[in-house]
Amino acid sequence: MYLPKKWSNISVEQFIEISQIDKDQGANGYNSELISIVTDMTYEEVDELDLDEMVQMVNDMKWSNTQPSKQYKHELLGMKIKPLSKLCLFEYIDLDYYFNDNYHTNIDKICAILYRQTKVNEWGEVVLEPYDYDIHIRAEKFLDLPITDVYGIVSEFLKFRENFLDVYKNLFGEAEEDLTAEDKAAMEPEEIKEVEAEVKNNKWSWERMIYGLTDGDITKTEAVGALPLTYVFNMLGMKKELDI
């Protein structure tokens, strides 16, 4: 039976499965699932392990309680990673969604967005492929790679997003959360309506922004989504400052 000794022995697919283990089930349940994932043993086979053997395996896998290396490879599978400073609007929106949902369980799709095929154009310049492929199909290409090949892009994007939100903080309102029954009991009806309206606005914030940028013409959505992220937000900043 093979027992991994470090994160570099764990594939992206195994990392996603480990990240999906329910930590609320208790140590025994968690460790059984962990051993099953990293050794490809069935749950039945894990249950048949001697207690001392299982304890020893868990001790040998203490590395799993840490995070993988924050390094990552800029070239993988014949593709190059797209510089975050050159993200288009749609790329950022999709990355933002997958990070907010759970960047550990979505890391394959995050890789699918960021790693791109390249070619040399007629002027001898290296250009990246456009964002018009199925990311779910491409995500499958990353599942067998070591998690240490790609995990560092998580912290890289988190730093980029933090800086981006700080630069354009005047364009992002503070998100309102759904009101609890206790909240509503302490508020006036008009206050409740205002907060609930803001919650709805936040839910559709990206869609509302794109709708505004296209002046309601949804046929222009793809063209707007392909624009550079920083250009879009510079234009939004200008419109807000000039009130136009």
- CA dist., res. 238 & res. 232, Å (int): 10
Q: Give the model's pLDDT for residue 192.
A: 45
- CA dist., res. 83 & res. 23, Å (int): 35
Tell me which of 163 and 204 has the higher pLDDT. 163
For the chain, the helix, strand and coil percentages under 3-state DSSP, each to the nearest 5: 60, 5, 30
3-state SS, residue 183: helix
**Nearest by Cα to 65 from 42, 34, 43:** 34
Q: Is the pTM of this model over 0.85?
A: no
Confidence band (pLDDT; 50, 70, 90) for 153? very high
- CA dist., res. 82 & res. 111, Å (int): 10
pLDDT, one tens digit per residue, over 103-131 is 999 999 999 999 999 999 999 998 999 99
pLDDT, one tens digit per residue, over 26-51 is 888 898 899 899 988 888 888 888 88
